[in-house]
Amino acid sequence: MIKKRRIPRLLQLVLIVAGVYFGFILTFDVILGQLIPKSLLTMYMFFVITGVLMVFTFTEESTRELIDPIKALVEDPSKKVLRNIVFVIVPLLAGIYTYSSLLPSFEAPVELRTIHPAPPSKMKAYGKRFDLATLENPYRKYEKEDPDKFRELVREGGDVYIKGCQYCHGDKLDGKGPYAAGLNPTPLNFQDVGTIAQLQESYIFWRIATGGPGLPAEAAPWISSMPIWEDFLSEDETWKVILFLYDYTGHQPRSWEHE
């Protein structure tokens, strides 16, 4: 019987691990269009490598097939040249890696925080309790029923915005107000599709009325400068400024009906 020539086990192992690694990157980056976080990738790869090693060292024979080429590299006199090359290149690569990770990085340190924490189901503001699951903007209906009245309400909301919000959120609603540079976390950019476009008006109402201090513990570490607007704006003014935020940016609030 002719023995089939197989790919050496060690190479098989390297190919499988590399294949899975690039598979992850390809799936996330190209197909899903999202970068896979490095910490997650490290975790996945840890399990993949552990699993593959378990399979490859299942029997004594398979373990030997894996280890023999490494042993040969170290011990076999005929592999002297290869050995010298490997033993120069490996420490060199390790050295380069260590050196490059010692270079200072100017990237902001990672701070994990929930930008949109889950809202409470009920909230208290203006001495009342609001049920956030059913709360709606009382002025939203005029968008269809009475467009002239709606424009007027948006304009009034714009006044509230210019008086109270543009210092931080910017006069273009892009989060680049004159105070923004001094704040961390930075004021949110409402033009970005990741903020108000993703949210319901009741959520925005909760965030404006209770501000940074109203955020739940899961949003920590959080020292948001977003004021508690309940103390400065009436309920009506809050709903109007919400109309303005959506009108100016052209985003639609998320609603139960549209989903």
Binding site for ligand HEC (CB under 6 A): 116, 160, 164-165, 167-169, 179, 183, 185, 187-188, 195-196, 199, 204, 207-208, 212, 224-227, 229, 241
CB of residue 238 to ligand HEC, shortest distance in Å: 7
Distance, CA of 95 to CA of 5 (rounded, Å)? 37
CB of residue 156 to ligand HEC, shortest distance in Å: 13
Q: Which residue has the tokens 């552990």?
A: 50
195 or 249: whose CB is closer to ligand HEC? 195
13 or 210: whose CB is closer to ligand HEC? 210
Maximum alpha-carbon separation in the chain: 91
CB of residue 113 to ligand HEC, shortest distance in Å: 9
CB of residue 224 to ligand HEC, shortest distance in Å: 3
The amino acid at 118: A
In whole angstroms, how far apart are CA 14 and each of 10, 74, 91, 187, 188?
A: 6, 19, 19, 47, 45
Distance, CA of 134 to CA of 122 (rounded, Å)? 10
The amino acid at 127: G
8 or 194: whose CB is closer to ligand HEC? 194
153 or 208: whose CB is closer to ligand HEC? 208
Tell me which residue of 242, 115, 255 sits closest to 188, measured CA to CA: 115
CB of residue 204 to ligand HEC, shortest distance in Å: 5
Tokens of 199: 């949210």
84 or 114: whose CB is closer to ligand HEC? 114
Distance, CA of 24 to CA of 31 (rounded, Å)? 10
